[in-house]
C-alpha cells in the first residue's frame, strides 16, 4: 500500500489580505506565524517517527519554504525535495491581485456553483482543470515516484484550493463547483492511500496546532 500525506503550505503574507485574490502570487512569503506552523508540523511528524520515501512540493516559494521547514525537522536532505508546477495553486488569471469582494459578485458566485467546476476566470483555470492536473501528478507519483514500489510513503506540499480539488476528484464528488467551500487550514494535512485506486483516509488534520489558532 502507498500512503500520501498532502499538506497545505503555511500562512503567507498574502493570506492576511483577505479581500485580495492571491492565486499564484509568486512573491507571497511566509509570515512568522506561518514559519511557526510549518516548524510545528515538522516537529509533530518527527515526534511520531514519520518516514517519507519521497517529498514533492509546488514550485511556489511559500509551499517550498514550508516543505523545507518540515523536512529540516525530519532530517530529510533539502536537496531531495522534488518540485512540480502541477502542484501550484489555481491560476486566477486576470483576477490575480484583484479585490475579492468586487470580483466575486453574487452573479459570479452563482455561476461558479452552477458550473460544476468548469467555470474559468479570464485567462485562468477552472476547478476541473486544477483537479485534472493534481490527479495526474498524484497518479504519476503513485506509479513512478517510488520507482514502481508497491509500498511506501510520500509527502506532498501544495495549496488550499488545489488540494480541495484533488479531494473532490478522489472522492468523485458531484459538487465540484463548490470545492472552494471546503475547510482546509494552513499546514493542515490530508492522508490518502493508493492500491490501484485512491482512498481518502483523513482530511483537514491539524494536531500540531492544538495550542495555536488555525488560519484559513
DSSP assignment of 114-168 equals HTTT----TTS--HHHHHHHHHHHHHHIIIIITTT-SSEEEEEEE-HHHHHHHHH
Whether the predicted pLDDT of 80 surpasses 90: yes
Residue 171: partners with Cβ closer than 8 Å, 6 or more residues away: 200
In the chain, the domains with their CATH numbers are: 2-209 (3.40.50.1240)
Neighbours of 125 (CB within 10 A): 23
Whether the predicted pLDDT of 146 surpasses 90: no
pLDDT band at 87 (very low <50, low <70, confident <90, very high): very high
Handedness of CA 171, 177, 183, 187 (dihedral sign): positive
How do residues 158-176 score in pLDDT, each as one tens digit? 999 999 999 999 988 766 6
Rounded to an integer, the average pLDDT of 34-60 is 97
In this structure, of 3-12, 35-44, 145-154, the range with the lowest mean pLDDT score is 145-154
Is 61 in contact with 83 (CB distance < 8 Å)?
A: no
Q: What is residue 65's predicted lDDT score, i.e. its pLDDT? A: 98
**Helix 32-47 / helix 61-74 crossing angle, nearest 10 deg:** 40
Rounded to an integer, the average pLDDT of 170-196 is 85
Rounded to an integer, the average pLDDT of 74-99 is 94
The answer to whether the pTM exceeds 0.75 is yes
Residue 16, all three cell numbers: 492576511
Give phi and psi for 102, each to the nearest 5. -85, -25
Closest CA to 118 of 110, 107, 126: 126
Q: What is residue 140's predicted lDDT score, i.e. its pLDDT? A: 93
Residue 36, all three cell numbers: 511557526
Beta-sheet pairing, 189-194 with 2-8? antiparallel
Give phi and psi for 19, each to the nearest 5. -105, 15
Whether the predicted pLDDT of 25 surpasses 90: no
Whether the predicted pLDDT of 144 surpasses 90: no
Whether the predicted pLDDT of 177 surpasses 60: no
Q: Helix, strand, coil % (nearest 5) of the chain?
A: 45, 20, 35
Helix (H, G, I), strand (E, B) or coil at 109: helix
Q: What is residue 175's predicted lDDT score, i.e. its pLDDT? A: 62
Amino acid at each position: 500500500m502507498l500512503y500520501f500525506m498532502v499538506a497545505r503550505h503555511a500562512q503567507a503574507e498574502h493570506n492576511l489580505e483577505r479581500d485580495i485574490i492571491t492565486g499564484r502570487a509568486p512573491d507571497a512569503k511566509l509570515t512568522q506565524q506561518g514559519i511557526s506552523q510549518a516548524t510545528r508540523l515538522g516537529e509533530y511528524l518527527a515526534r511520531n517517527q514519520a518516514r517519507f520515501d519521497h517529498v514533492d512540493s509546488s514550485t511556489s516559494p511559500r509551499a517550498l519554504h514550508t516543505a523545507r521547514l518540515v523536512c529540516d525537522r525530519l532530517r530529510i536532505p533539502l536537496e531531495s525535495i522534488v518540485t512540480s508546477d502541477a502542484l501550484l495553486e489555481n491560476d486566477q488569471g486576470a483576477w490575480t491581485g484583484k479585490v475579492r469582494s468586487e470580483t466575486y459578485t453574487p452573479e459570479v458566485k452563482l455561476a461558479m456553483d452552477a458550473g460544476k467546476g468548469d467555470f474559468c476566470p479570464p485567462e485562468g483555470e477552472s476547478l476541473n482543470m486544477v483537479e485534472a492536473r493534481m490527479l495526474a501528478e498524484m497518479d504519476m507519483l503513485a506509479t513512478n515516484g517510488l520507482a514502481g514500489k508497491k509500498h511506501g510513503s510520500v509527502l506532498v506540499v501544495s495549496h488550499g484550493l488545489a488540494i480541495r480539488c484533488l479531494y473532490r476528484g478522489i472522492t468523485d464528488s458531484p459538487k465540484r463547483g463548490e470545492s472552494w467551500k471546503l475547510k482546509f487550514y494552513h499546514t493542515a494535512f490530508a492522508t490518502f492511500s493508493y492500491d490501484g485506486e485512491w482512498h481518502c483516509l483523513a482530511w483537514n488534520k491539524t494536531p500540531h496546532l492544538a495550542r495555536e489558532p488555525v488560519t484559513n
